Amino acid sequence: MSKLISPSFEAMEALILRLQSTICAELAEVDGGAEFVAHPWRRETGGGGLTRVIQQGKVFEKGGVNTSSVYGELPPGLAEQLGTTPGAFAACGLSIVIHPRSPRIPTIHLNIRYFQLENGQSWYAGGMDLTPYYPHPEDFVHFHRVLHQACEAALPGSYQKFKAQCDRYFYLPHRGEMRGVGGVFYDHLDGANPSHFELNRRIGEAFLPAYLPIVLRRKDEPFTDQDREFQLIRRGRYVEFNLLYDRGTAFGLQSGGRVESIFISLPLEVKFPYNWQAPPGSPYAEMTRYYQPRDWLDETG
């Protein structure tokens, strides 16, 4: 298996561990009421990871900042899903999901990863997206502008392509809507191209400047019981997507990953009321209009 651990793999491992440490420290400082708890784990068939969890904080109700570095044999079914052949593989990545307590602060998700296969194939993948619960369009503009800057610095002209891929990926076809306001998403970027590692690096480093200004702006704003109700209902959409469509969840389960780490993406509290409809003229009705593809760079904010 050591022949699969290339310099690119080692560089990616170093990047994700550095980002995990920095991001956890910054988020814990902003929360001011809870710390990240570390849970190292080992995978029976090779490798392991470090799950870092914050829960019941002042700002963050539940969040995970997880790294994994695993290797072994790729099962035929999973190889088919990945568009390759069975054989030895190595993969490492960073996965983040943060569910805030306040409905005025969005949920955020980030994932960057690297795959390397015995047959010589290797690729980078990743992305970041935002799931808000209250219509603060200036926050959504800020988020997309940071992602635009990160994408264009690594791969000029790539943001619009990766944004469109994100709009398509984080989409609930049975609901006819996106789970949030999008971001960027990319997959199967040639592992031999150093610009693709640079993209993963810049997207990972964009997490804090994309998210923390929103958190700091909104964390002390008052909210109503109705705001909280809408947040819990929309979290249901998040659960639906992760259990029905998320590739990372499927890969983790099919490759023998740690279940508690995989499902750290699910919120602590959620509601599934029957046939709920946003009251006309409410901020929730306005917010639902934003769960469709939109060119945020053309918005003011």
Residues annotated as catalytic (active site), given as ranges = 109
Written as six digits, the tokens of 32 are 């001011």
Residue 293 · residue 167 · CB < 8 Å:
yes
Closest CA to 22 of 195, 263, 208: 208
Q: Which amino acid is at 215?
A: V
Q: Which amino acid is at 149?
A: Q
* Residues in the chain, total: 301
Residue 265 · residue 243 · CB < 8 Å:
no
The burial of 205, by beta-carbon neighbours within 10 Å (0-12 exposed, 13-18 middle, 19 or more buried), is given as: middle
Written as six digits, the tokens of 57 are 């904080």
Cα dist. 125→39, 266, 267 in Å? 25, 22, 24
